[in-house]
Amino acid sequence: MTVVRRVRDAARVALPRSVGERLPAAPPREVTELLHDKRFQRAVAEQATEQGRPEEEVWSEVKGYLHEMAAAHDDRTSQGWARMGEWFLRAYDVLVDEDDMQELKRLDRSHSLALAFSHRSYLDGMVIPNALSSRRFSPTYTFGGANLNLPIIGTVASRTGLIFIRRSTQEIPVYRLALRSYIRQMVRNKRNMAWSIEGGRTRTGKLRPPVHGILKYLTDTVQDQGEGDEAPDVQVVPVSVVYDQLHEVSLMTEESRGASKTPEDWRWLVRFARLQRQRMGRAYLTVGEPFSLRERMDELAAEGLTGHQAVERVALDISHRLNRATPVTVTAIVSLALLGADRALTVDEVLDTVEPLATYIDARQWPVAGAADLRDRSTIRRALAELARSGVLTAYDQGSEPVWKIGDDQHLVAAFYRNTVIHILVERAIGELALLTVSELEPDAELPQGGTLQVGWEEAKRMRDLLKFEFFFPSRAGFEDDLRTELQLLVGEDVTDMTPDRARELLVSARPHLAHLVLRPFLDAYLVLADRLADHGDAPVGDDDLLADSLAVGQQWALQRRVASAESISLELFRTALALARHKGLLEGRDGVGSAREAFAAELRDTVRRVNIIGEIAAHVAPAVHPHAVLQPHHQASR
């Protein structure tokens, strides 16, 4: 097998003495320094006292953990590993913004870099180190899950700077002490470090909520004066990696429908390597705006935020910067267009759908991957052909002209690609719903102070709260500023106040319409779970039972077309809905909770209703169509 032979060749380079040896003959510098560090020795002694254990026993345990996670950079091994990484990446051309890299290299000369990357593929761990090493950056130490520490190859990888860490350490305080101290020593030695801020690969295509573990240890380090020394600093660097397509997505979407995750072992590695034989387009590496971690923590302290709250805010800062750095891919835009259709489309119909999106992306100055022209016919046609070749789309060319549609059971795959850009569209979609809410006001409705715009703003805030576990929103003040910008783009004028009739006219004439394309899949999934939760009345319900029930009933609703798309039937989306329900206190059984559950389901039903109205507007909008033929006032429609 080619992959086995290549790994064995790398192993021979890396392990000239003993394949069974986990570490190089001499422990890495950080381990040696820690074992002789008086502060670390006191911390181990305190840990032993706290646990009521002999100090020698705790020392033995902590040394084992340090050797387990320790990594080194052997030049010869790293060169062989980089060549193997290029082979694994043979399905892609990797595009890197060289201007960003030059700026980052200047920072690398004087700072320790903490590279927080988005995680969409196992290949990320090869794209980033290869991009940095080929441009002669300082060696980078990358944190990876211990599940990838396979025999032989794990030993090789540890000599190229890969630090294997355990995912669940809550019950292992000595391990946490070893890891925290190891990271502190890495920073003191000005090492560059890289880790996934999401903790694991996204299953939906968009960023997952950030995990705080490694970031917490970094913030502790930059705020720790030590014994009279100035605390070291790091520059946090958001790094986005996005792909035209990924072989892994189909497996991840199967997990979203309830399939068990494939364990990482040698057989998995061989299958994964073989998949890369098929070309999948390009991988794009982009760098977000770096910032000093110590300065950011000082700013937050001045605002009164410390401890976990400060770490949480920094994690959100990183996530926002990652989203801003992630470019729009042609694959994502084509997937968005086809997911919004309930039929096959010609190239011209896809272009008609994409054109207003391209105009919006230009207006917001979002970067497009590879500087592609989203209005170019050949560019769109090539993306359609590539998606059909990988099975995401089906093509029919026996008629007068070819047409494309989402393939059977491929909606979650297409949604994964669409979701890589969904963050740039969410506030626009919420702005449409705010405008629709104003349009549905009764003529004699009592308005709050602030008039109709306040009504729209309250609706936008409600949607922000409803979706806060799904998307990264700015602060309330920042969200209001962004929404005003979106409304100006939406209606083409400065918004100060408007009548319901004017809101209807503006909404119908606006392009593009996005609420149904962007929000409906998530809201449909939320409604399924809310409906199943309400079915339990006041009774308690377990998480696993509720998720399984939602998955089963959701599949029924998809067959009945009670949800717009099969992409809504996803455990990932149900889990987010579950988190929202827990936040609202709806999971515990108690008197009266059944009414609150019913109210939650009713809120989602009404929200889905209004999103569907946006979809109807988008389907019928045309120059000859009068606004009132598409969108009737709420009080008229209900008669």
Say what the pLDDT of residue 24 is: 45
Average pLDDT over the chain reads 88
Q: How far is CA 365 from CA 88, 324, 360, 483, in A?
A: 34, 11, 8, 16
Range from 23-32, 83-92, 136-145, 353-362 carrying the lowest mean pLDDT:
23-32
- Residue where the block lists tokens 């070893």: 178
pLDDT of 14 > 50? The answer is no
Say what the pLDDT of residue 634 is: 40
CA pair distance 72, 28, nearest whole angstrom: 6
Q: In terms of pLDDT, which residue wins out, 498 or 44?
A: 44
Residue 359's beta-bridge partner residues?
none
* Encoded amino acid at 432, one letter: E
Say what the pLDDT of residue 625 is: 33
* Encoded amino acid at 310, one letter: A
Range from 115-124, 223-232, 502-511 carrying the lowest mean pLDDT:
223-232
Q: What is the mean pLDDT of residues 117-132?
A: 93
Say what the pLDDT of residue 628 is: 37
Residue % of the chain over a pLDDT of 70 = 91
Residue 243's beta-bridge partner residues?
283
pLDDT of 398 > 90? The answer is yes
Q: In terms of pLDDT, which residue wins out, 379 or 248?
A: 379
Which tokens in the block code for residue 375? Answer: 């209005």
CA pair distance 209, 523, nearest whole angstrom: 18
Q: What is the mean pLDDT of residues 8-20?
A: 49
Helices in 535-592 by DSSP H: which ranges? 543-559, 571-583
Q: What is the mean pLDDT of residues 397-425?
A: 93
Confidence label for 139 from pLDDT (cuts 50, 70 and 90):
very high
Q: What is the mean pLDDT of residues 21-26?
A: 46
Hey, is 234 helix, strand or coil? strand
Give the model confidence (pLDDT) of 334-378 as tens digits.
999 999 887 899 999 999 999 999 999 999 899 999 999 999 999
Say what the pLDDT of residue 256 is: 73
Give the side-chain half-sphere CA count within 13 A for 490: 27
Q: What burial class does residue 297 get, using C-beta atoms within 10 Å of its C-beta: 0-12 exposed, 13-18 middle, 19+ buried?
A: buried
Q: How far is CA 162 from CA 82, 207, 243, 246, 291, in A?
A: 12, 23, 23, 23, 24
pLDDT of 23 > 60? The answer is no
Confidence label for 510 from pLDDT (cuts 50, 70 and 90):
confident
Q: Are 241 and 131 in contact, with CB atoms under 8 Å apart?
A: no
CA pair distance 119, 238, nearest whole angstrom: 12
Give the model confidence (pLDDT) of 54-105 as tens digits.
999 999 999 999 998 989 888 888 888 888 889 999 999 999 989 999 999 9
pLDDT of 294 > 60? The answer is yes
CA pair distance 162, 265, nearest whole angstrom: 17
Q: What is the mean pLDDT of residues 488-503?
A: 76
Q: 86-121 in b/e burial notation, b at 16+ Cβ within 10 A?
A: eebbebbebbbbeebbeebeeebeebbbbbbbbbbb
Q: What is the mean pLDDT of residues 380-384?
A: 97
Q: Are 567 and 521 in contact, with CB atoms under 8 Å apart?
A: yes
Residue 238 belongs to what H/E stretch? strand 234-243
Which tokens in the block code for residue 63? Answer: 């040394």
Sequential DSSP letters for 24-46: -SSPPHHHHHHHT-HHHHHHHHH
Q: How far is CA 27 from CA 33, 63, 314, 447, in A?
A: 10, 11, 33, 71
Say what the pLDDT of residue 360 is: 92
Q: Are 549 and 529 in contact, with CB atoms under 8 Å apart?
A: no
Q: What is the mean pLDDT of residues 447-472?
A: 89
Of residues 489, 391, 384, the one with CA closest to residue 431 = 489
Q: What is the mean pLDDT of residues 562-584?
A: 93
Q: What is the mean pLDDT of residues 609-635?
A: 62
Say what the pLDDT of residue 637 is: 36
Say what the pLDDT of residue 221 is: 92
Rounded to two decimals, what is the model's pTM?
Answer: 0.87
First to last CA, the chain: 71
